[in-house]
């Protein structure tokens, strides 16, 4: 029995890891919006014989993209060779005055053995602007390991990735199933007490025995469903793509009229 449980857990873990391996980061499908107006997000890709070469090519294209927008000169070949020698892209960014900040990267090994890397970077929004980089947490995936740990309490992992309704439903469902199983088991024990009473007739005994078996079996079935939901809760928390962060910010502002200035409070939605 122990070996069966171990094998089942191993298969579940392999399934989870397989799902995770096939996932693409959320920014591959939809570009995130910046948290302030000093930078924008840029996504570029590169291909090479090694992962480092592919990454450097992608970074060169980010530099080129940014240089073109800022109207600055840029030597693509020279920068690529510099990166290939192991120079950090931050140093290159400072040398050319083209501010970029790498947020995340996604790597794929192609069938021909070469590497394809896609990078998400934050770059200066306009010339002569000093960017204030955001941490980029909305662009990254919420840590899957952390979501897995939170799921010890059913539903918290889904909530942490922004799926509040699913998380609450999972939590309430688990509580209802465990509570229902306990209720059926307690009711079965009461039937057992009735069976143990002295002077009970055969018909009453058989009726209580039937109810006892029925309630006990039902409690085991409910607990089995609760266990399956508990395991599924871990899988969902690990494989779900996190929703973009939604933040609310109150800020004072002024509305100008022909002969007056009216102070107001503005509500900003940030995705």
Q: Where are the domains of the chain?
A: 27-141, 145-239
User: Tokens in use for 92?
Assistant: 């290159």
Is the predicted pLDDT of residue 250 greater than 70, yes or no? Answer: no
107-111: long-range pairs with CB below 8 Å, 24+: 107/51, 107/54, 107/55, 110/47
**Which residues make beta-bridge pairs with 269?**
248
Phi and psi at 245, nearest 5°, equal -70, 135
Q: Percent of the chain at pLDDT above 90?
A: 36
- The burial of 258, by beta-carbon neighbours within 10 Å (0-12 exposed, 13-18 middle, 19 or more buried), is given as exposed
Strands, E, within 7-134: which ranges?
39-48, 100-109, 115-124
Q: What pLDDT does residue 12 have?
A: 55
Q: CB-based contacts of 83: which residues, under 8 Å, 6+ apart?
A: 56, 59, 60, 89, 92
What is the band of 161 on the pLDDT scale with cuts at 50, 70, 90? confident
Return the residue matching tokens 């996190």.
242
User: Tokens in use for 110?
Assistant: 């192609």
Residues 114 and 48: beta-carbon distance below 8 Å? yes
pLDDT per residue as tens digits for the range 1-29:
545 555 555 555 545 444 444 467 778 87
Is the predicted pLDDT of residue 76 greater than 80, yes or no? Answer: yes
Q: Give the span between the Cα atoms of 134 and 139, in whole angstroms.
A: 10
pLDDT per residue as tens digits for the range 127-156:
888 899 987 655 555 556 667 788 888 988
Q: Give the span between the Cα atoms of 238 and 22, in whole angstroms.
A: 13
- Claim: this prediction has a pTM higher than 0.85: no
Closest CA to 268 of 255, 252, 254: 252
Which has more pLDDT, 38 or 253?
Answer: 38
Helix, strand, or coil (residue 176): helix
* Mean pLDDT computed over 58-79: 92
Closest CA to 35 of 265, 246, 262: 246
């Amino acid at each position: 029995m122990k070996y069966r449980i171990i094998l089942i857990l191993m298969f579940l873990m392999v399934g989870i890891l397989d799902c995770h391996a096939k996932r693409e980061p959320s920014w591959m499908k939809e570009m995130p919006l910046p948290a302030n107006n000093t930078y924008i997000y840029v996504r570029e890709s590169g291909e090479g014989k090694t992962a480092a070469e592919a990454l450097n090519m992608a970074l060169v294209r980010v530099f080129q993209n940014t240089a073109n927008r800022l109207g600055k000169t840029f030597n693509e070949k020279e920068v690529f060779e510099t990166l290939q020698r192991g120079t950090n892209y931050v140093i290159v960014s400072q040398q050319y005055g083209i501010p970029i900040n790498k947020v995340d990267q996604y790597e794929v090994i192609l069938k021909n053995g070469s590497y394809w890397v896609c990078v998400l970077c934050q770059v200066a929004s306009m010339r002569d602007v000093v960017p204030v980089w955001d941490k980029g947490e909305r662009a990254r995936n919420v840590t899957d390991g952390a979501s897995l740990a939170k799921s010890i309490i059913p539903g918290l992992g889904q909530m942490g990735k922004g799926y509040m309704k699913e998380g609450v439903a999972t939590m309430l469902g688990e509580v209802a199933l465990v509570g229902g199983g306990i209720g059926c088991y307690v009711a079965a024990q009461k039937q057992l007490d009735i069976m143990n009473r002295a002077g009970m007739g055969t018909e009453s005994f058989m009726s209580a025995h039937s109810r006892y078996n029925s309630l006990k079996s039902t409690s085991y079935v409910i607990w089995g469903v609760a266990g399956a939901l508990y395991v599924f809760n871990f899988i969902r928390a690990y494989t779900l793509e996190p929703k973009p962060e939604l933040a609310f910010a109150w800020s004072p502002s002024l509305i100008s009229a022909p002969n007056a200035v009216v102070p107001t409070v503005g509500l900003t939605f940030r995705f």
